[in-house]
Amino acid sequence: MGKASRDKRDIYYRKAKEEGWRARSAFKLLQIDEEFNIFEGVKRVVDLCAAPGSWSQPMAPIEGVIQVQGDITNARTAEVVIRHFDGCKADLVVCDGAPDVTGLHDMDEFVQSQLILAGLTVVTHVLKEGGKFIAKIFRGKDTSLLYCQLKLFFPVVTFAKPKSSRNSSIEAFAVCENYFPPEGFNPKDLHRLLEKVGSPWGGEDQDCSSGWLEGPNKVYIPFLACGDLNGYDSDRSYPLPKVADGTYQSLDPVQPPIAPPYKRALEMKKASSQGIREPEKHSLDS
């Protein structure tokens, strides 16, 4: 797909370049903020899985931002984050990470939910009481279970769908407010506590966990659409803006990839077009 073609087919991709954002996903966060005011009073933020392309490439530096490359399932990563905050905890944790989707919705939803729970491991170490956690989810048949697991730590949990998120996508976002872990909670017991949720042996004092998630105990999840309903439709194609000379010039991304996985393929294609042959490589045993 050419640059102009994508500019036409994806209005938020085009607007991101025009407004100076690195990625179209910035609009998702902005539209969530319009509805939930998540940035009010926020001074310290942790952005999990922030590198574009997930684990496939590093991220170019951003002024005023400290980058930590680590495993979000490891408590030591959380300790490094707190150390950079001079012992203070974060006001907000956001996580827009996602695995490479397979097209098998049940599998994708399960893997995504496990990624969120890995993010929750970091949250229990770095988020202050009263803080907020925003995470990407994939909606599916087990969404109620994830909702109840998050409710153990956040009294208010809402699933939101920003206008900039395509209607054809199962993507949504869990907006978790007012972090308040159970009394006497130890982060080391996180997974043991989560396993009780939605089971018949779950404690009766835990919201959502006193019975099954079906039948009379079925959980109904608050779901909210974010963004101006009269705004741009992410599934629609828009005409390119008219220019004086009649030739539309597509803008380059604000920050192109610095180590894309396809870099080697581009170099080989360029060399081939210029008639340059790569030197043959021989094994030491040949």
Quickly tell me which residue has 């109904």 as its tokens.
Answer: 220
How far apart, in Å, do the first and last CA atoms of the chain sit?
Answer: 42
**Which token pair is 175?**
């907006």
Q: Where are the beta strands (DSSP E) in the chain?
A: 45-48, 90-95, 127-138, 156-162, 171-177, 223-226
> What whole-number distance in Å separates Cα of residue 128 and Cα of residue 179?
7
Closest CA to 239 of 3, 2, 1, 11: 11
Would residue 136 show up in a list of annotated catalytic residues for this protein? yes
Q: Which of 136, 151, 161, 163 is catalytic?
A: 136
Closest CA to 12 of 174, 247, 169, 175: 169
Three-state SS at 161? strand
What does the longest C-alpha to C-alpha distance in the chain come to?
72
* Cβ pair 119, 173 in contact under 8 A: no
Catalytic machinery residues = 136
